[in-house]
Amino acid sequence: MNTEVTIAGVTFKNPVMTASGTFGSGMEYSDFVDLNRLGAVVTKGVANVPWPGNPVPRVTEVYGGMLNAIGLQNPGVEVFVERDLAFLADYDTKVIVNVCGKSVEDYLEVVERLSDEKVDMLEINVSCPNVKEGAIAFGQNKDALYDITSKIKAKAKQPIIMKLSPNVTSISEMAKAAEAAGADAISLINTITGMKIDIYKRQFALANKTGGMSGPAIKPVAVRMVYEASHAVNIPVIGMGGIQNAVDAIEFIMAGATAVAVGAMNFHDPYTTVKVVEGIEEYMTKYGVEEINDIRGIV
Ligand SMILES: Cc1cc2nc3c(=O)[nH]c(=O)nc-3n(C[C@H](O)[C@H](O)[C@H](O)COP(=O)(O)O)c2cc1C
């Protein structure tokens, strides 16, 4: 049985990754999860300078998942390199760094700072719905997406994954724009913009008013978008959105994803990623699947 997958020349021992922002850089989880079992750790978004994030409350539960409006709080790339990358260097897993910024220059600064560090791939977040400048502004307009992708590709030493927003009319058009601009892969979906109102406080549940919806309830939307995007482009697709178990992960792979990421479910059960790895192996044994790649896009 072979669970290896390759994306832009980088080989992952299995297709299971952590979704950015739901696993830190693995430090908090490493007491529970053997990080060596994961295909990759995808870190929380990192910017050129520290960001404080949004005012609280910035997470709230909803039926089938959660809303968050963290606002990309992060310590900045310098602390990240010294602390988080140093920590991850001890593990036998691939490292994908999620990058955020308010301007193209911000993104380029992070990408250049990471160019000689032990980072396997960069995931460029152009799809966070919770910050006022940058981020999603690049991910909702195909010309802006093309522009930022080509500029980052020209500077990046590592292969780049463009993380796409579901908050668009045509995911296929956005996927094609990223591919045309030189992206090595795409990942989707980021969270879907939502809102919750506390009727007793007569107030929004989140200080930011809106937040990004994640968790099991968004999975059918995510599977549909991964299917559409993977049929629109020839570059690999990393699928995510509501994955709870191996059945969900295999669904994404059959829709066309080369790899998958587990997000909000890490909060519910910190062992989810490893359970997904084991569940995929069990499925392959039981149903005689020799190569994980043999079931990719099979529907
Ligand atoms: C609390 C929280 C923080 C997140 N932070 C980031 C982030 O920094 N960068 C990013 O690209 N996506 C971020 N995401 C989006 C997830 O990586 C993922 O795309 C999304 O939650 C859908 O997957 P899920 O339903 O499995 O959580 C965040 C999601 C949550 C719930």
Q: What is the CA(215)–ligand 1 centre distance, in A? A: 9
Considering the entire predicted model, what is its pTM? 0.98
For the chain, the distance separating the N- and C-terminal CA atoms, rounded to the nearest angstrom, is 21
Per-residue pLDDT tens, the chain, 299 aa: give them. Answer: 999 999 999 999 999 999 999 999 999 999 999 999 999 999 999 999 999 999 999 999 999 999 999 999 999 999 999 999 999 999 999 999 999 999 999 999 999 999 999 999 999 999 877 776 666 778 899 999 999 999 999 999 999 999 999 999 999 999 999 999 999 999 999 999 999 999 999 999 999 999 999 999 999 999 999 999 999 999 999 999 999 999 999 999 999 999 999 999 999 999 999 999 999 999 999 999 999 999 999 99
3-class DSSP state for residue 77? helix
Structure tokens at 90: 């001890």
Name the pairing type of β-strands 121-125 and 59-62: unpaired
Q: What is the CA(288)–ligand 1 centre distance, in A? A: 33
21 Cβ inside 6 Å of ligand 1: yes
Q: Which residues contact 279 (CB under 8 A, 6 or more apart)?
A: 245, 246, 247, 249
- pLDDT of 133 reads 62
Displacement of CA 55 from its chain's centroid (Å): 23
Rounded to 5 degrees, what are φ and ψ at 139? -95, 0
CA distance 5 to 49: 34
Q: Which secondary-structure segment (H or E) carries 79?
A: helix 77-79
Q: H helices then E strands: how many in the chain?
A: 10, 16
Catalytic, 128? Answer yes
Q: What is the CA(286)–ligand 1 centre distance, in A? A: 32
Displacement of CA 2 from its chain's centroid (Å): 24
Check: CB of residue 61 under 8 Å from CB of residue 42.
Answer: no
**Cα angle vertex 190, ends 59, 5, to 5°?**
125
Check: CB of residue 226 under 8 Å from CB of residue 201.
Answer: no
Name all domains of the chain by residue range, CATH numbers in brackets: 5-55+70-193+213-295 (3.20.20.70)
Check: CB of residue 196 under 8 Å from CB of residue 132.
Answer: no
Check: CB of residue 247 under 8 Å from CB of residue 191.
Answer: no
The active-site residue, picked from 47, 124, 128, 164, is 128
For a mutational test of ligand 1's pocket, the pick from 28, 190, 260, i.e. the residue with the most ligand atoms closer than 8 A to its C-beta, is: 190
- The dihedral formed by the CA atoms of 133, 60, 83 and 50, expressed in degrees to the nearest 10: 30
Taking only the tens place, the pLDDT of each residue in 171-222 is 999 999 999 999 999 999 999 999 999 999 999 999 999 999 999 999 999 9
Structure tokens at 174: 């956005």
43 Cβ inside 6 Å of ligand 1: no
Task: Using alpha carbons, select from 126, 114, 115, 117 the residue that is nearest to residue 150.
Answer: 126
